[in-house]
Amino acid sequence: MPDWLLSVPAFIVAIGLLVAVHEYGHFWVARRMGVRVLRYSIGFGAKLWGRTSSRSGTEYWLSAIPLGGYVKMLDEREGPVPDADKPYAFNRQSVGKRMAIVAAGPAVNFAFAIVAYWLVFMLGVAGIKPVIGDVPEDTRAAAAGLSEGQHIVAVAGRETPTWQDLRLTLIEQALAGGEVPLSVTDGEGGDAREVRLDMTGVSADPERLFGELGLAPYRPDGTPVIAEALSGEPADAAGLRAGDKVLAAGGEPMRDPQALVDWVKAHPGETVSLRIRRDGREREVRVSLDAMTVDGERVGRLGAQLGIDSDEWAALQTERRLGPLAAVPAALEQTWSVSALTVRLMGRMLVGDVSWKNISGPIQIANYAGKTASVGLEAFIGFLALVSVSLAVLNLLPVPVLDGGHLLYYAIELVRGRPLSEEAQAMGQQLGMVALLLLMSLAFYNDILRLLS
């Protein structure tokens, strides 16, 4: 099945749900504050479906462009309002009420993330144990005394049950800098000892951090297995199918999936021979590899998703599952950690310490949505939690046209005792729109580059 057949509906479900949650925050608080809501729309543009409440008169819309949504409230700035209805207009409310209505959207996104992480921890978080792979000489990891096969069980006193936990924690520590204590064992269940990893001046960029430290996950030997031959790609055209074990390529034994990936990349556009095992029998398969350009280099492409056949790999898999009560503080901590890390990484982007290539747009989000949906329910819920946090943080930025920009205007109004002039607010909105368009353009540019590579 082509990836987009899952990515597109998963993306629509994810964005639709998260936008609905965000806008419902504005909607619910506005109603509680006595403001009349004229329309609650999921999506922008033309109405695809809608109904009007006979009791409140609110229109509920499902609109054509599924990249956002809005709540339209009664407001004298947007049109004439009858005298009898003026007490229900948004602009007639106190500054405190207006701030509460605006802040409710991001607040509900944070609440959604907490609930989502709570569900994930109860369903079970699958991952790979934080076992270190080969440690190159003259790296910070080597200087700390780390070596292949060791388990990093905690960083600065914070447990790291999976490689993903280790990754997020080290990114946080890179932002702080300095020496970081690691608790390591020489094998699972062994006695822990402390080593100190020097992270002074190391890049916090997720794309560069682990290379600079000299850390990578442990990769045991294991025969690469075709998990899926993508439709229309060289693997599919050659007759490869799910479950085929790739024993050798061009006569060279393949010790693990990465070895096969590296070998394929080194033979762009060539017709090669793969030795596979299928249903207990070995055979040779001829494959005409595609060629593509990545970072200016011509590389080969097989067009298959790979798995691995290895008991040792299976032993590296782990799962963290918590009860309903224990999952509550874990969900709160995870939401806080992801939120704080997002803010700090954004700050580092502004000063150039973190690459702008880390910004993703709708195409990459759809890609992640499809991949997590294909893995399972808990992975997709975890993805929703992460995007919900990102949506909340982004909306709280003090940029006009975003919720944070409106909150900034209201904060100035509180200090001055009167609002900014309409001209100043309009100019701020225009600047905010330009900034948002530039950010969206950058996100699309990054997405396209990822597609081409």
User: Which residue carries 């682990």 as its tokens?
Assistant: 210
Whether the pLDDT of residue 22 is over 90: the answer is yes
Residue 450: per-residue pLDDT: 62
Residue 422: per-residue pLDDT: 82
| DSSP-derived 3-state class of residue 221 | coil
The model's pTM is 0.79
| DSSP-derived 3-state class of residue 68 | strand
- State how far the Cα of 418 lies from the Cα of 424, in Å rounded to an integer: 13
Mean pLDDT, range 416-423, rounded to an integer: 86
Strands 158-159 vs 281-288: parallel, antiparallel or unpaired? unpaired
Question: Torsion angle, CA of 383/388/393/395, rounded to 10 degrees?
Answer: 130
Angle between helices 95-123 and 327-350 (to 10 degrees): 120
435 pLDDT tier (thresholds 50, 70, 90): confident
Fold match flag (128-219+310-320 vs 223-306): yes
Could you report the per-residue pLDDT of 320-344, keeping only the tens digit for each?
889 999 999 999 999 999 999 888 8
- State how far the Cα of 175 lies from the Cα of 202, in Å rounded to an integer: 8
Angle at 310 (CA atoms; ends 307, 315), nearest 5 degrees: 105
Residue 350 neighbours by CB distance under 10 Å: 9
When the pLDDT of each residue in the chain is averaged and rounded to a whole number, the result is: 87
- State how far the Cα of 304 lies from the Cα of 317, in Å rounded to an integer: 23
Could you say which of 23, 172, 228, 378 is catalytic? 23
Asked if 439 contacts 447 with a C-beta cutoff of 8 angstroms, the reply is no
Whether the pLDDT of residue 2 is over 60: the answer is no
Could you report the per-residue pLDDT of 208-246, keeping only the tens digit for each?
888 889 998 887 777 889 988 888 899 999 999 988 999
Strands 193-198 vs 179-185: parallel, antiparallel or unpaired? antiparallel
Query: Is 23 annotated as catalytic?
Result: yes
223-306: CATH number? 2.30.42.10
Phi/psi zone of residue 81: left (φ > 0), alpha (ψ -120 to 50 degrees), beta? beta
What are the structural domain ranges in the chain? 97-124+321-453, 128-219+310-320, 223-306
Residue 1: per-residue pLDDT: 47
Question: Who contacts 37 (Cβ-Cβ below 8 Å, separation ≥6)?
Answer: 27, 30, 31, 56, 58, 71, 72, 73, 74
- State how far the Cα of 165 lies from the Cα of 183, in Å rounded to an integer: 14
440 pLDDT tier (thresholds 50, 70, 90): confident
Picking from 150, 216, 135, the residue whose alpha carbon sits closest to that of residue 183 is 150
128-219+310-320: CATH number? 2.30.42.10
- State how far the Cα of 370 lies from the Cα of 6, in Å rounded to an integer: 5
* CA distance readout (Å), 26 to 20, 30, 446: 10, 6, 31
Phi/psi zone of residue 451: left (φ > 0), alpha (ψ -120 to 50 degrees), beta? alpha
Pick the range with the lowest mean pLDDT from 86-90, 102-106, 366-370.
366-370
- State how far the Cα of 354 lies from the Cα of 172, in Å rounded to an integer: 13
Q: Is 240 exposed, middle or buried (0-12, 13-18, 19+ CB in 10 A)?
A: buried
Whether the pLDDT of residue 310 is over 70: the answer is no
Picking from 137, 274, 141, the residue whose alpha carbon sits closest to that of residue 199 is 141
